[in-house]
Each structure stands twice: as structure tokens, then as C-alpha cells.
């Protein structure tokens, strides 16, 4: 059986639990080691060995680098607490640096898989810091046998990914265990006429989106309601809760359990806001957010920004709404005038698509683990299979 060591930057991230569940469903045993964000509880993860290396803080990248350096310097100590794995998966760059150092302490030299889900803004700076970061990633990435990405735009755009030599690449989608799919309110028989509801769920970190949605809800004077759920990145807003409380038709309903609460929260809204200017022109343009997959899986109509990978994704499927911008007049024209008939047609287009467009099934989990197992006994040099 494949024994995977999963190195993660945030043990309490629900996406980490989902990836572990995906590997376990595919037939692998999993150990996990990494950092835990301050203010979060110890997560309940389905693993053989759980190892917490240090505590880190949101929006404090330098502190995370220091914590990573400490973990690198003490690798021999904490590596001795785990059995040698068949393979190491490193989630994001700092974990890749640990994986490269860690593998030296095991005789079997386990292969490394680099899981890249975001491109941090520091990686794209055109100064000494950016050059150093890209150089480090290029050097460490050469030690990886496989690249797992969440968006094809990363491989097509990022220079350190397109450089030769490069590892084989696999794209991953959302993995959830919910058995039922939600239904858009627009498709409920004899629905009560009510406001159009827009849901913005997950990592809330875009001040421009908060302002635009707030202004839209005010302008529509009850015709549109905005529901926020998830974890706000308070450092990105002047005062998140004050800004929300100031709006009559916008409300924040706290966090939610993933996947347990997904059906309930998504079938309570018509549209899912899949626009993010947190790293405009960079990561926000290239990524495919979980809220896109989760929302579509549960019947919500996705709203995306033209020119982004999210817009390209929904356009390929023939669903959703693509906005040229989020200026007040644009939002009022496109979203403020959505007739019930048009809304039901948009919702029906999402509902008729197979769940496989949005979520990974059990057989795909097994296929992933099989591909990972192939790396354990390398038979040929790295090639590109993206």
C-alpha cells in the first residue's frame, strides 16, 4: 500500500482534510506534518501520524518563512518520529523546501510531488525578492517528480512551470463527499417571488468585491440580497464587520462546515460570486476557486469576470454569467434586471451538467493514487504529460 507523507502549510485548512480523504479513498495511507494557523483548533484528520511543527499567522509571510527555516533546521529530529514514506506530497512552496531537505534522511529517497494551488504575489515581483523566490522554486521544483495544480493557467503562464526540465503535471478539481446536490431556488416549483440572492462563500479577502456587492444591494433596495459565509481575511478590509453591518441587504452568517453545509448554503442563493481582485492580474486571474466548483455542484449560477480562467471554465461549459467589469452600472444592468424566466434558464443549464464537471469521483481518487504509486519506482526520466 502506498504510504504518503503530506506536508502542509495550514493543518486546519479544510482543503487539507479533503485532499487526505481523497488519497484515503484512493487506497493510500497518509501521515501529515505541517504548521497550524494561530487561532484555529487542532483538526480531526484521518491520518496514521499527525505532527504539528509550529504555529503561523495569516498575512505574515516573513513569520511563515522563519517557521519554515526552523523546521528545516530540525528536520532530522522530527523525521525520526515518522516511518519512511513511499512518497512525499508538498503543498505549496515552503513545504516543497521541507520535502527536498527531508528526503535526504531516508534511505529510500521517496519521490516528491509538488502541489501548487496558488501563486503568491512575492513570486511575481520584479525585484531581488521575486528573482530569489523564483530561483528557489525552480531549484526545488527540479527535485519533484510530479506537479499537481488546481488550474491549467498556472502551467500556461508561470515561467518557473514552463521552464525545461519540468515534471509531469496533473490537474485536480474539488473533492467533496456530499451525496446530494442542491437545487437552485429558481427551479423550485411555484417559487415565492423574492429578492435575487447572491452568495459569496469561502475565503473572503477581496475588498473590491465587498464594496461592489454592498453598493449593488443598496441600489436595488431589497431587490438583491448578498449572503456572506466563510472566513474573512480581516487584514484585507478596513473593518469587515462594520462594512457589512452598514448594508441593509447584506449579511455575514459566519463560517460553515465543508462539505456538510454546502447543500444548505448554496441552495439558499441564486448566484455564486466567483470574482476576486485580491491579486488582480495575477493569481486571481489564473486560479479556479473552490466556490466555483462547490456552487455549480449544488446548483448556483456562477458569476465570473471576463478574461479570467474562471470565466473561461464556465464559458466552455456554456453556463453562468461573465461580467466585463464590476462597475455599479454594469452590475445593475446585468444582475439587477434578471427576469425569473432568464434566471430559471441559467439555473437549469447548471443543473443538467454531470457532477463530474465539478467534483472528483471515487474512481478518479483511485486513478490518482495509482499514478502516484508509479513514481515510487521510477523507470524513466521526467517528462511532461500536462
Q: How far apart are CA 138 and CA 158, in angstroms?
A: 11
Considering the domain architecture, whether residues 262 and 351 belong to the same structural domain is answered as yes
pLDDT of residue 164: 38
The Cα-based distances of 56 to 8, 40, 68, 91, 386 in angstroms read 12, 10, 10, 15, 33
CATH number at residue 290: 3.40.50.2000
List, as one string, the DSSP characters of 102-131: HGGGSTT---EEEEE----GGGG-SSHHHH
Range of the domain at 143: 3-172+360-374
Handedness of CA 121, 125, 130, 131 (dihedral sign): positive
Q: Would you say residue 381 lies in a domain?
A: no
Q: How far apart are CA 216 and CA 236, in angstroms?
A: 20
Q: Which residues of 286-369 form beta strands (DSSP E)?
A: 301-305, 321-323
Please answer whether residues 326 and 319 qualify as being in contact, where contact means their C-beta atoms are separated by less than 8 angstroms. Answer: no
pLDDT of residue 385: 35
List, as one string, the DSSP characters of 243-294: HHHT-TTEEE-----TTTTHHHHHTT-SEEE----TTTTTHHHH---HHHHH
Considering the domain architecture, whether residues 31 and 12 belong to the same structural domain is answered as yes
Please answer whether residues 209 and 276 qualify as being in contact, where contact means their C-beta atoms are separated by less than 8 angstroms. Answer: yes
Q: How far apart are CA 45 and CA 14, in angstroms?
A: 10
Q: How far apart are CA 231 and CA 193, in angstroms?
A: 30
Determine if the peptide bond prior to 165 is cis (ω within 30°): yes
Considering the domain architecture, whether residues 246 and 195 belong to the same structural domain is answered as yes
Q: Would you say residue 384 lies in a domain?
A: no
| Buried-exposed string 249-282: b where 16+ CB fall within 10 A, e elsewhere | bbebeeebebbeebbebbbbbbbbbbbbbbbeeb
**CA 343: distance to chain centroid?**
27
Which of 301, 229, 233 lies closest to 265 in space, CA to CA?
229
Q: What pTM does this model have? A: 0.85
Considering the domain architecture, whether residues 268 and 166 belong to the same structural domain is answered as no
Q: How far apart are CA 126 and CA 31, in angstroms?
A: 37
Q: What is the DSSP letter of 186?
A: G
pLDDT of residue 43: 84
Considering the domain architecture, whether residues 243 and 259 belong to the same structural domain is answered as yes
Considering the domain architecture, whether residues 69 and 161 belong to the same structural domain is answered as yes
Q: How far apart are CA 73 and CA 330, in angstroms?
A: 53
Considering the domain architecture, whether residues 160 and 276 belong to the same structural domain is answered as no
Considering the domain architecture, whether residues 200 and 241 belong to the same structural domain is answered as yes
Q: Would you say residue 212 lies in a domain?
A: yes
Q: Would you say residue 162 lies in a domain?
A: yes
pLDDT of residue 137: 78
Number of domains in the chain: 2
Please answer whether residues 323 and 308 qualify as being in contact, where contact means their C-beta atoms are separated by less than 8 angstroms. Answer: no
pLDDT of residue 117: 79
Q: Which residues of the chain have pLDDT under 70?
A: 59, 119-125, 129-130, 153-173, 176-179, 191, 279-283, 377-386
The Cα-based distances of 203 to 84, 120, 216, 354 in angstroms read 34, 15, 21, 26
Considering the domain architecture, whether residues 366 and 346 belong to the same structural domain is answered as no
Considering the domain architecture, whether residues 83 and 231 belong to the same structural domain is answered as no
Residues 6+ apart with CB under 8 A from 316: none
Which of 119, 120, 123, 141 lies closest to 132 in space, CA to CA?
123
Max Cα–Cα distance, the chain, nearest Å: 67
Residues 6+ apart with CB under 8 A from 62: none
pLDDT of residue 386: 32
Q: Would you say residue 178 lies in a domain?
A: no
Q: Would you say residue 322 lies in a domain?
A: yes
Neighbours of 70 (CB within 10 A): 11
Considering the domain architecture, whether residues 166 and 62 belong to the same structural domain is answered as yes
User: In this structure, what C-alpha cell is assigned to residue 58?
Assistant: 495569516
pLDDT of residue 161: 55
Considering the domain architecture, whether residues 245 and 351 belong to the same structural domain is answered as yes
Amino acid at each position: 500500500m502506498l504510504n504518503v507523507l503530506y506536508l502542509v502549510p495550514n493543518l486546519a485548512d479544510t482543503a487539507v482534510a479533503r485532499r487526505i480523504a481523497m488519497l484515503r479513498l484512493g487506497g493510500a495511507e497518509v501521515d501529515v506534518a505541517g504548521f497550524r494557523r494561530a487561532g484555529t483548533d487542532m483538526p480531526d484528520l484521518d491520518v496514521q501520524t499527525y505532527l504539528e511543527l509550529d504555529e503561523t499567522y495569516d498575512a505574515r509571510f516573513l513569520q511563515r518563512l522563519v517557521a519554515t527555516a526552523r523546521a528545516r533546521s530540525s528536520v532530522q529530529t522530527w523525521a525520526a518520529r515518522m516511518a519512511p514514506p513511499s512518497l512525499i506530497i508538498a503543498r505549496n512552496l515552503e513545504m516543497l523546501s521541507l520535502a527536498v531537505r527531508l528526503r535526504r534522511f531516508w534511505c529510500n529517497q521517496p519521490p516528491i510531488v509538488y502541489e501548487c494551488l496558488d501563486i503568491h504575489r512575492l513570486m511575481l515581483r520584479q525585484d531581488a525578492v521575486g528573482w530569489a523566490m523564483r530561483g528557489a522554486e525552480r531549484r526545488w521544483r527540479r527535485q519533484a517528480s510530479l506537479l499537481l495544480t488546481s488550474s491549467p493557467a498556472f502551467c500556461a503562464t508561470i515561467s518557473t512551470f514552463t521552464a525545461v526540465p519540468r515534471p509531469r503535471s496533473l490537474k485536480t478539481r474539488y473533492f467533496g463527499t456530499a451525496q446530494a446536490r442542491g437545487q437552485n431556488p429558481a427551479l423550485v416549483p411555484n417559487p415565492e417571488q423574492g429578492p435575487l440572492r447572491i452568495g459569496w462563500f469561502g475565503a473572503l479577502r477581496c475588498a473590491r468585491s465587498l464594496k461592489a456587492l454592498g453598493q449593488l444591494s443598496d441600489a436595488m433596495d431589497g431587490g438583491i440580497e448578498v449572503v456572506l459565509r466563510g472566513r474573512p481575511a480581516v487584514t484585507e478590509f478596513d473593518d469587515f464587520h462594520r462594512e457589512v453591518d452598514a448594508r441593509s441587504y447584506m449579511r455575514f452568517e459566519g463560517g460553515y462546515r465543508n462539505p456538510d453545509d454546502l447543500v444548505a448554503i448554496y441552495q439558499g442563493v441564486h448566484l455564486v460570486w466567483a470574482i476576486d481582485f485580491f491579486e488582480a492580474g495575477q493569481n486571481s486571474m489564473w486560479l479556479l476557486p473552490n466556490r466555483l466548483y462547490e456552487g455549480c455542484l449544488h446548483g448556483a449560477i456562477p458569476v465570473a469576470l471576463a478574461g479570467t480562467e474562471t470565466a473561461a471554465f464556465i464559458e466552455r461549459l456554456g453556463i453562468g454569467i461573465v461580467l466585463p467589469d464590476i462597475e455599479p452600472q454594469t452590475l445593475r444592468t446585468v444582475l439587477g434586471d434578471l427576469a425569473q424566466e432568464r434566471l430559471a434558464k441559467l439555473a437549469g443549464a447548471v443543473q443538467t451538467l454531470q457532477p463530474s464537471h465539478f467534483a472528483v469521483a471515487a474512481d478518479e481518487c483511485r486513478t490518482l493514487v495509482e499514478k502516484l504509486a508509479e513514481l515510487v519506482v521510477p523507470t524513466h526520466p521526467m517528462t511532461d504529460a500536462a
